[in-house]
Homo-oligomer: A and B are copies of this chain.
Amino acid sequence: MAEAAWDEDLCTMLDVLDRISGKWAVSILLRTSSGPVRFTELERSLRGISRRMLTLNLRNLERDGLIVRTVYPTVPPKVEYTATEMARELYGSLAGLTSWAVRHRDTVAAAREAYDQRRHIDVPP
């Protein structure tokens, strides 16, 4: 039975990968993991993100239950975003990936350089 389930689990994992890929999702999760953060605060925190992309990412993460959106009906409006426990767990399981990335950073860089040089030989024009 452990045999027939592995590609279903693979699919499930690929879904997660898709969910957290994209330039900003992980950074948003990280920033909201340590407590409620307001929209504008996030916008400044993640330097370079556009309003549109911030909104889209927040909506997607909220939809998947990874962050909670809290609206305070004040004037001016105040909205806070907080990562859920589930999201913090997810962030934790990304540690393995970080570890791999750091350990092999140099090897990957070297492989790239070598590959590019090989390719540059036959493309002079």
Contact = CB atoms under 8 A, between A and B. Distances in A.
Interface of A: 9-10, 12-18, 20-23, 26-27, 30, 62-65, 86, 89-90, 93-102, 104-105, 107-108, 110-112, 115-116
Contacts of A104: 86, 89-90
Contact of A111 (B20, B64, B98): B64
A108 B21 contact: no
Contact of A95 (B21, B96, B99): B96
A83 to B, nearest CB: 13
B16 A101 contact: yes
B90 A93 contact: no
A17 B13 contact: no
Contacts of A102: 9, 12-13
Given A15-B101, A65-B115, A90-B104, 4 more contacts: A10-B30, A14-B27, A64-B111, A96-B96
Contact of A100 (B16, B98, B99, B116): B16
A17 B20 contact: yes
Nearest to A91: B100
A111 B65 contact: yes
